[in-house]
Amino acid sequence: MSELRLQYIAIEGVIGAGKTSLTKKLCDHFGGREVLEKQDENPFLKDFYRTPRQFAFPTQLFFLLSRYRQQQEIPQRELFHDMIIADYIFAKDRIFASVTLEDRELFLYDKIATFLEQDIARPDLVVYLQSSTDRLLANIKKRNRDYERSISDEYIRELNEAYNQFFLNYKETPLLIVNSTEIDFVNKEEDFEELVNQAIRPISGTQYYSPIKRTD
């Protein structure tokens, strides 16, 4: 682990991209501490997927405050001693808000989010798992989570477009964009090792990693 200078890595991607799976594998690989989103704790999430318009604002607000509380529980000193790997960045909440909220709700949301963002530590590196909508939908269907069964294809498509646009303009931290449509870093160790090698090399600004599709 001596070649790795990163102390705080955040993994991002649309629902079904494999953020949590990659976070757990990286923690096992580097002996890091994982920080995972607590999706199941949101009491509005199931209702949101059934009737998005009615439950968008409470769902979004709960996630915003929950993620803020979780970020505050990471002692600053740990950023200089233990490796931390999270399966989200705090700014992701704005991506979802831009898709789910109407103008008046988004105006109020922005005021709250802007205030909270002042206290959030920035990762040393963000890894964005970019994927096709078809691959995301296939992954969601395969894992078959109860509260995700009501997610519409259109919602994932719109969210995927919003994510791509967000990271196209992202400048806050070093960013590695991974074309993850054709790789399987969960079940294929060679895919995982190649991704690790890309992440630990010096990265400034935005860099891209597009693996060659394997035929075996």
Alpha carbons within 13 angstroms on the beta-carbon side of residue 19 total 27
Which of 82, 87, 134, 146 is catalytic? The answer is 87
| Tokens (6 digits) for 2 | 């001596």
119: annotated active-site residue: no
Residue type, 97: A
**DSSP class per residue in 13-74:** -STTS-HHHHHHHHHHHHTPEEE---GGG-TTHHHHHHSHHHHHHHHHHHHHHHHHHHHHTS
Given phi > 0 = left and psi -120 to 50 = alpha, else beta, which region is 13? left
Report d(CA 68, CA 46) in Å as an integer: 21
Angle at 45 between CA 43 and CA 50, to 5 degrees: 125
Catalytic site residues? 87
